[in-house]
A and B are shown apart, each in its own frame.
Chain A
């Protein structure tokens, strides 16, 4: 079996501008949704109490809401989760409330209701102090990833590659966040982890292409820069699709079998993988071209390289 039967190098660079404009529009849309709708942060970031309660028979949500309202939790969000028998309750933190005790009080008032007894499946309570730290830790982690990758790529390749790889892949991150803002999916800690993992993973993709670019520059004389890039992308495209396909199979499996907890994690990865292919190949490469990559930049390392191999 061989999926990719490509006769000639595909002239990707001819359409470089189109790819970048598409990319820019998606990026701007993502920023727009982030700005207007904002992210729907999970309890871990905002602070508050989240409870998952399970009943033997589907309870009437209105009754639960009333009962909680009577206890003083008018701002409680009560909704079904997974099935009609599972209920998710969200309570924001409030000043002057003994936050650590909320879950017991809620359970007590729910148990006092007529009908089936609830079974407590999960409680997550996060105080206001913790949420803020998580947000700043997340930002620090993002900065560390960006810095680390730029430095590494600049060392192994050239600063032009480093800069274009990071621009292309940061825009993936923004697009993932844009999706989460548009559909108001819950942005939780695992989603943050997935986002950062995607950043590392799609830089991967750029690295594979850049590796080829370097090799082609060294081996084939007389090709123009766009031709070199076209050749590099074309000769790696089969690997790109198959690798990402395999990773996506795994992620799909998580999406299908992983349950609620892994659902958004897998969703973030899916978006990241799809846009990762696009941006790391079709956005990063034109950027490298425009930043003025050329053959001369690789002549020096060539000698070193051969010595290293021998």
Chain B
């Protein structure tokens, strides 16, 4: 009766084998590596050519690598030691980013699992360590959504002013008051005329008529839908901007994620220079539109060192030098949007810019006065300018809608639009949480967590074996298989392991032994009451099952509550805790029973169980 059918034994064996395979990568440790990934949103990394380039650059520099790997977004090369890794990084950097000022690829130092290729192929990866174990910086940024809406309303104020002037509607003042724009009129007739004009031109606004003393008022507020769009757009754009900026830091595996409605999490593993990271995150780049000095001979002179006063020498994206006037016509503050698209007439890729009302007016004047001259659009970052594009002005451009086109691929158009948008953040951000862990502390945390688990496990194992003899050994094996499965599951899910997570592993083991103690005590009790050994095993396991189920469910409820409401360290704890409860159910019941069945199941005349002394009252 104490025998499992073959399929059940096979199943247990298979699950344990699976656990072993997926736990394996954690034993191999890590080796230094260099990782190449795309540094621009528009640049796709082609794995096969990239691998070839890495190989060639390493061969050219005479550096030996221990294997090249490629996935969808990056190419990685493993090296014997950190010295080789650093040399290789320089070589690869040179090959991929010939122009150090404008890097197209991110070449970063990384650590790779040293596990053999076949393990990596079946996605058996080591556990993903959290920042508190590997060191690095964690930021939580709060996006100021009110700021984004206010910015939009300010732009709307100007737009309305232009609109009413164009339509010859006389108003008595337009101003932004809090979250609304108020337009005043002298009489009711103008008010209603303005209402229909504004309503036709702008469907993002809700208009309410009112009266303020002798004045007639029109109060415009953004519709909820428009507000939502603005906020979503702001968040997306800020995340995009952060991506671009972080690429510059050369972090191997940055995490940039939205959290909730208005927050962004940024995690930079391995980054120690927090000051630099913050500087880059908080940097504001600005856009400037200036005129190009195309007067004959001026450029040639400038190239020889005689830069005419009032101008500066820049190089265009293609590398052509360009002489740009110092006077700034327009700055990025006037830009409300930049989108990639196509030219309406010749269907060439283009970038559509939208300027606010004041910007549109300036732009109209400037273009009218400078037809057939060139205009440069510059992105100023870290006090350094780059000419994004320098198109020729064909005609006067009014209305604030500007199109940049010509000699552009659609990818370049997307890139330019992104760069222009990324020039400034859509809404201001503030760091509301920061966690920095030094690399030495991270390593110490791993050791501490490991030691606590190890010594606790050994102590429990010794006690269980002494107290329950063979059944104690079975319980310990079950507990070990629980640990194995838990680690395998964590590796497979690539859930972030933190120090509280390690504590949860230890605690789970300490709690999981409960199930085996329950079973063993129950078997002893059955023996005490005079059951035969085989019957005692069977009833012991059956009776204990209900209790084990109930007690695990209550623990699981607490675990799930922590998972739902916890953040940061608590979540790391909760994930492991919940998974641990599930694996412990499997190992404490099935694995231990399977073992006991293998040991005792076939013995027909079983006299005694090696479960330690069974004391009977009154003897």
Partners in one complex: yes
Residues in A lying within 8 Å of B, measured CB to CB: 1-3, 5-8, 44, 52, 99-101, 103-104, 119-127, 129-130, 134, 137-138, 140-142, 144-145, 148-149, 152-153, 156, 189-190, 192-193, 196-197, 199-201, 203-205, 207-208, 211, 235-236, 238-239, 242-243, 245-254, 256-259, 261-262, 265-266, 269, 309
Q: Count contacts on B: residues with CB < 8 A to the other chain.
A: 79
A149 contact from B518, B557, B562, Cβ within 8 A: B557
Beyond A119-B438, A120-B274, A190-B503, list 7 extra A-B contacts (CB 8 Å): A1-B467, A5-B615, A137-B565, A197-B558, A197-B559, A197-B573, A203-B558
CB of B561 within 8 A of CB of A148, answer yes
CB distance from A182 to the nearest CB of B (A): 24
B444 contact from A7, A119, A259, Cβ within 8 A: A259
Which stretch in B70-78, B199-207, B326-334, B509-517 binds the other chain? Answer: B509-517
A259 contact from B445, B460, B556, Cβ within 8 A: B445
Q: Does B567 contact A (CB under 8 A)?
A: yes
Contacts of B569 in A (CB 8 A): 189-190, 193
A265 contact from B444, B503, B517, Cβ within 8 A: B503
A103 contact from B436, B459, B500, B574, Cβ within 8 A: B436
CB of A145 within 8 A of CB of B557, answer yes
**Which of B431, B560, B570 has most A Cβ within 10 Å?**
B570
CB distance from A194 to the nearest CB of B (A): 8
Docked Cα-Cα span, A125 to B132, in Å, equals 14
Tally of A-B Cβ pairs under 8 angstroms: 245
CB distance from B580 to the nearest CB of A (A): 11
CB of B518 within 8 A of CB of A243, answer yes
CB of B573 within 8 A of CB of A104, answer no
B interface secondary structure, majority: helix
Contacts of A269 in B (CB 8 A): 507
When A127-B142, A190-B569, A201-B555 are in contact, do A196 and B441 touch as well, CB less than 8 Å?
A: no
Residues in B lying within 8 Å of A, measured CB to CB: 132, 140, 142, 274-275, 278, 430-438, 440-441, 444-445, 448-449, 451-453, 455-457, 459-460, 463-464, 466-467, 499-500, 503, 506-507, 509-511, 513-514, 517-518, 521, 524-525, 542, 546-547, 550-551, 553-562, 564-570, 573-574, 577, 612-615, 617-618
When A126-B433, A141-B564, A243-B514 are in contact, do A207 and B554 touch as well, CB less than 8 Å?
A: yes
Docked Cα-Cα span, A293 to B574, in Å, equals 35
Docked Cα-Cα span, A288 to B382, in Å, equals 71
Contacts of B514 in A (CB 8 A): 204, 243, 246-247
When A207-B551, A258-B449 are in contact, do A247 and B511 touch as well, CB less than 8 Å?
A: yes
List 11 A–B pairs whose Cβ atoms lie within 8 Å, in order of A's numbering.
Answer: A2-B524, A101-B278, A119-B440, A123-B274, A130-B140, A141-B562, A197-B558, A208-B551, A211-B550, A251-B507, A254-B506
Top 9 A-B residue pairs of the complex, sorted by shortest distance between their CB atoms: A200-B558, A250-B510, A127-B432, A253-B456, A100-B431, A250-B456, A141-B565, A125-B434, A148-B557
CB of B448 within 8 A of CB of A243, answer no
Contacts of A125 in B (CB 8 A): 431, 433-435
A262 contact from B499, B525, B566, B570, Cβ within 8 A: B499
CB of A211 within 8 A of CB of B547, answer yes
CB of A193 within 8 A of CB of B500, answer yes
CB distance from B468 to the nearest CB of A (A): 8
Contacts of A239 in B (CB 8 A): 517-518, 521
CB of A2 within 8 A of CB of B499, answer no
A253 contact from B506, B525, B560, Cβ within 8 A: B506
CB of B274 within 8 A of CB of A104, answer yes
CB of B557 within 8 A of CB of A258, answer no
When A100-B430, A121-B440, A261-B445 are in contact, do A253 and B507 touch as well, CB less than 8 Å?
A: no
Docked Cα-Cα span, A114 to B98, in Å, equals 43
Docked Cα-Cα span, A173 to B56, in Å, equals 63
Contacts of A259 in B (CB 8 A): 444-445, 448
Contacts of A129 in B (CB 8 A): 142, 432
Contacts of B274 in A (CB 8 A): 103-104, 120, 123
CB of B614 within 8 A of CB of A152, answer no
Docked Cα-Cα span, A62 to B274, in Å, equals 27
CB distance from B373 to the nearest CB of A (A): 44
When A265-B500, A269-B507 are in contact, do A203 and B554 touch as well, CB less than 8 Å?
A: yes
CB of A121 within 8 A of CB of B452, answer no
Contacts of A243 in B (CB 8 A): 513-514, 517-518
CB of A193 within 8 A of CB of B518, answer no
CB distance from A111 to the nearest CB of B (A): 11
A interface secondary structure, majority: helix
Contacts of B448 in A (CB 8 A): 257-259, 261-262
Docked Cα-Cα span, A153 to B558, in Å, equals 13
Please name the residue on chain A nearest to B558 by beta carbon.
A200
Contacts of A248 in B (CB 8 A): 510
B460 contact from A6, A8, A134, A246, Cβ within 8 A: A246
A199 contact from B452, B463, B558, Cβ within 8 A: B558
CB of B517 within 8 A of CB of A242, answer yes
When A121-B441, A137-B565 are in contact, do A104 and B278 touch as well, CB less than 8 Å?
A: yes
Contacts of B449 in A (CB 8 A): 258, 262
CB of A200 within 8 A of CB of B559, answer yes
CB distance from B102 to the nearest CB of A (A): 29
CB distance from A280 to the nearest CB of B (A): 11
Docked Cα-Cα span, A123 to B431, in Å, equals 13
B570 contact from A99, A145, A189, Cβ within 8 A: A189
CB distance from B473 to the nearest CB of A (A): 14
CB of B435 within 8 A of CB of A201, answer no
CB of B500 within 8 A of CB of A207, answer no
CB of B568 within 8 A of CB of A189, answer yes
Docked Cα-Cα span, A249 to B488, in Å, equals 24
CB distance from B352 to the nearest CB of A (A): 35
CB of B564 within 8 A of CB of A144, answer yes
**Which of B132, B455, B457 has most A Cβ within 10 Å?**
B455
Contacts of A200 in B (CB 8 A): 554-559
**Which of A103, A130, A141, A199 has most B Cβ within 10 Å?**
A141
CB of A152 within 8 A of CB of B557, answer yes
Contacts of A153 in B (CB 8 A): 554
Contacts of A254 in B (CB 8 A): 452, 456, 503, 506-507
CB of B550 within 8 A of CB of A156, answer yes
Docked Cα-Cα span, A190 to B571, in Å, equals 10
CB distance from B548 to the nearest CB of A (A): 9
CB of A250 within 8 A of CB of B561, answer no
CB distance from B472 to the nearest CB of A (A): 10
CB distance from A202 to the nearest CB of B (A): 9
Contacts of A148 in B (CB 8 A): 557-558, 560-561
**Which of B451, B452, B466 has most A Cβ within 10 Å?**
B452
Contacts of B503 in A (CB 8 A): 190, 254, 258, 262, 265-266
CB of B561 within 8 A of CB of A196, answer yes
Docked Cα-Cα span, A300 to B613, in Å, equals 38
Please name the residue on chain B nearest to A3 by beta carbon.
B467
CB of A197 within 8 A of CB of B562, answer yes
CB of B557 within 8 A of CB of A6, answer no
Contacts of A192 in B (CB 8 A): 570
Contacts of A193 in B (CB 8 A): 500, 562, 566, 569-570, 573-574
B566 contact from A137, A257, A266, A309, Cβ within 8 A: A137
Docked Cα-Cα span, A153 to B433, in Å, equals 39
Contacts of B506 in A (CB 8 A): 250-251, 253-254
A249 contact from B440, B460, B561, Cβ within 8 A: B460
CB of A204 within 8 A of CB of B452, answer no
**Which of A123, A140, A239, A269 has most B Cβ within 10 Å?**
A239
CB of A2 within 8 A of CB of B562, answer no
CB of A246 within 8 A of CB of B510, answer yes
When A122-B437, A253-B452, A253-B506 are in contact, do A1 and B521 touch as well, CB less than 8 Å?
A: no
CB of A1 within 8 A of CB of B567, answer no
CB distance from B172 to the nearest CB of A (A): 39
CB distance from A85 to the nearest CB of B (A): 13
**Which of B435, B457, B514 has most A Cβ within 10 Å?**
B514
CB of A261 within 8 A of CB of B499, answer yes
